[in-house]
């Protein structure tokens, strides 16, 4: 059994297991429907999803949708964080509302960071980089500790979560501090709050994450179901029988659903036939909102592969040589590329004869994930590598130069982003 641990340093070797064991769907099945897919989508870096169809349908039909993610301010923002920022920005560019949380409550409770450190790292490392990468005003950026809608919602959904459930997902024990447990609920509230009335009400919301974050997503989807007044179940597929159960809903609300759907009212449920599931769910949400409920849609998620560390193994914030930070000096970033592990052969003779192994090369990964936008150009690099006409020394120099230029350009944009903080309702202090 694969174990997913959001706070651990697990390496997920076999992504395909996730489809079977955790019910994650293949992203490539949706790819053909997406206009202008992001390079992570085109290049199968994003490999899985839950309910992304709901986001895609909203995107294609001009209906509201959103993307949200959170960053724990514990150290330098690096290329792994850039991936998530880019995914949020891409969804904003497609017409979605963007939400970006700084998970300072989690950093304080789980990693012992002071509030001052959280504030400084949050602004300097994460927020400035997100704006420099293209996040536009209109995006909702907040620190958890100063944001009452999330704190209030976290209290509310906490009523539906219990210790056994959280322990089963996160491995909490009797020694786990209570604020650590609360921080998991705060993250669930982060994910659900874009659907609150004050942010436009229920809508599809995608959370782009690495596969190790799936436990949060599963917990939050469960909490969304439990917090809602109604449970809608398709008892016969297609236009067959759909049942709406009221749990603790007012009887009047159930009556209203029966009236608006033409369904048959029973003591605690309504049976509806001849309507589609989408149709019924939409009526149920409408009625639930009128009666003061949340009517959350289960949050959607996309899952991306992790980048490997520059020295092999996993990228780790505690090993500076394993990652490139977005605030690393451009020359230092280039040097890290020159020292990175490649998929090259032991001798030049073998390289020319057998070709390199880009699939095992951290330098190639930098090109694929970050530095080459044009798919054809990337394909040429790949072909030259496996064909043995590209040698690692030159390839590293080429990549190091692209990295140097990227960091220089990004850091200039970060300076400009400082001037834009006010447009996001933020200040440097």
Judged by the rule CB under 6 A, the positions of this chain that interact with ligand SF4 are 342-344, 356, 358, 361, 363-364, 385, 390, 392, 395-396
Smaller CB separation from ligand SF4, 96 or 355 = 355
Helix, coil or strand: residue 334:
helix
DSSP string of 10-23, one letter each residue: -----THHHHHHH-
Q: For residues 391 and 384, is the Cβ–Cβ distance under 8 A?
A: no
Tell me the β-bridge partners of 143.
102
Residues 6 or more apart whose Cβ sits within 8 Å of residue 399: 337, 363, 366, 367, 371
Least Cβ distance, residue 394 to ligand SF4 (angstroms): 8
Residues 6 or more apart whose Cβ sits within 8 Å of residue 126: 71, 73, 77, 81, 100, 102
The torsion angles phi and psi of 379, rounded to 5 degrees, stand at -60, -40
Least Cβ distance, residue 343 to ligand SF4 (angstroms): 4
Smaller CB separation from ligand SF4, 66 or 381 = 381
Q: For residues 300 and 27, is the Cβ–Cβ distance under 8 A?
A: no
Smaller CB separation from ligand SF4, 330 or 343 = 343
In 3D, which of 311, 318, 239 has the Cα closest to residue 273? 239
Least Cβ distance, residue 41 to ligand SF4 (angstroms): 22
Smaller CB separation from ligand SF4, 284 or 310 = 310
In 3D, which of 181, 213, 265 has the Cα closest to residue 80? 213
Smaller CB separation from ligand SF4, 48 or 343 = 343
Smaller CB separation from ligand SF4, 240 or 387 = 387
DSSP assignment letter at 343: S
Smaller CB separation from ligand SF4, 59 or 392 = 392
Least Cβ distance, residue 96 to ligand SF4 (angstroms): 34
Q: How far apart are CA 201 and CA 195, in angstroms?
A: 5
Strands 269-273 and 300-304 turn out to be unpaired
Locate 340 and state its tokens.
């990175």
Least Cβ distance, residue 13 to ligand SF4 (angstroms): 21
The torsion angles phi and psi of 307, rounded to 5 degrees, stand at -80, 145
Least Cβ distance, residue 6 to ligand SF4 (angstroms): 31
Q: How far apart are CA 284 and CA 256, in angstroms?
A: 9
Helices (H) and strands (E) in the chain, counts: 19, 11
Smaller CB separation from ligand SF4, 220 or 342 = 342
Smaller CB separation from ligand SF4, 9 or 348 = 348
Least Cβ distance, residue 365 to ligand SF4 (angstroms): 9
Strands 241-245 and 231-234 turn out to be antiparallel
Least Cβ distance, residue 382 to ligand SF4 (angstroms): 7
Least Cβ distance, residue 391 to ligand SF4 (angstroms): 6
Smaller CB separation from ligand SF4, 215 or 355 = 355
Residues 6 or more apart whose Cβ sits within 8 Å of residue 249: 229, 230, 288, 291, 293
Q: How far apart are CA 235 and CA 225, in angstroms?
A: 17
Q: For residues 261 and 228, is the Cβ–Cβ distance under 8 A?
A: no
Least Cβ distance, residue 370 to ligand SF4 (angstroms): 14
């Amino acid at each position: 059994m694969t174990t997913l641990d959001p706070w651990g340093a697990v390496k997920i070797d076999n992504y395909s297991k996730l489809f079977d064991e955790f019910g994650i769907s293949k992203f490539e099945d949706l790819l053909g429907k997406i206009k202008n897919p992001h390079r992570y989508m085109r290049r199968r870096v994003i490999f899985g999803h839950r309910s992304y169809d709901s986001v895609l349908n909203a995107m294609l039909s001009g209906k509201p949708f959103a993307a949200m993610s959170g960053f724990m301010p514990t150290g330098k923002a690096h290329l792994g964080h850039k991936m998530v920022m880019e995914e949020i920005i891409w969804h904003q560019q497609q017409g979605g509302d963007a939400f970006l949380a700084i998970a300072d409550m989690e950093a304080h409770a789980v990693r012992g960071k002071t509030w001052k450190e959280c504030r400084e790292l949050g602004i300097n490392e994460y927020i400035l980089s997100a704006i420099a990468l293209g996040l536009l005003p209109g995006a909702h950026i907040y620190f958890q500790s100063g944001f009452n809608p999330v704190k209030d919602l976290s209290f509310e959904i906490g009523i539906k979560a219990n210790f056994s459930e959280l322990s089963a997902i996160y491995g909490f024990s009797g020694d786990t501090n209570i604020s650590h447990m609360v921080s998991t609920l705060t993250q669930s509230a982060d994910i659900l709050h874009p659907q609150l009335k004050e942010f436009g009400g229920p809508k599809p919301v995608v959370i782009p994450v690495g596969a190790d974050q799936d436990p949060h997503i599963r917990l939050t989807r469960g909490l969304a179901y439990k917090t809602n007044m109604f449970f809608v179940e398709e008892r016969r597929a297609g236009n067959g029988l759909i049942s709406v159960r009221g749990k603790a809903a007012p009887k009047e609300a159930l009556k209203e659903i029966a009236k608006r759907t033409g369904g048959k009212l029973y003591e605690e449920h309504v049976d509806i036939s001849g309507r589609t599931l989408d149709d019924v769910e939409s009526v149920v949400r409408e009625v639930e909102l009128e009666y003061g409920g949340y009517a959350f849609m289960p949050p959607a998620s996309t899952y991306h592969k992790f980048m490997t560390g520059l020295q092999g193994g996993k990228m780790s914030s505690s090993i500076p040589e394993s990652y490139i930070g977005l605030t690393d000096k451009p020359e230092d970033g280039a040097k890290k590329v020159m020292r990175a592990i490649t998929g090259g052969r032991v001798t030049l003779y073998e390289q020319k004869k057998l070709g390199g192994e880009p699939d095992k090369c951290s330098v190639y990964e930098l090109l694929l994930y970050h530095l080459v936008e044009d798919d054809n150009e990337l394909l040429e690099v790949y072909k030259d590598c496996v064909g043995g006409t590209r040698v690692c020394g030159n390839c590293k120099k080429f990549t190091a130069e692209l990295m140097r230029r990227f960091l220089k350009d990004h850091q200039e944009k970060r300076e400009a982003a400082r001037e834009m903080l006010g447009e996001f309702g933020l200040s440097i202090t």
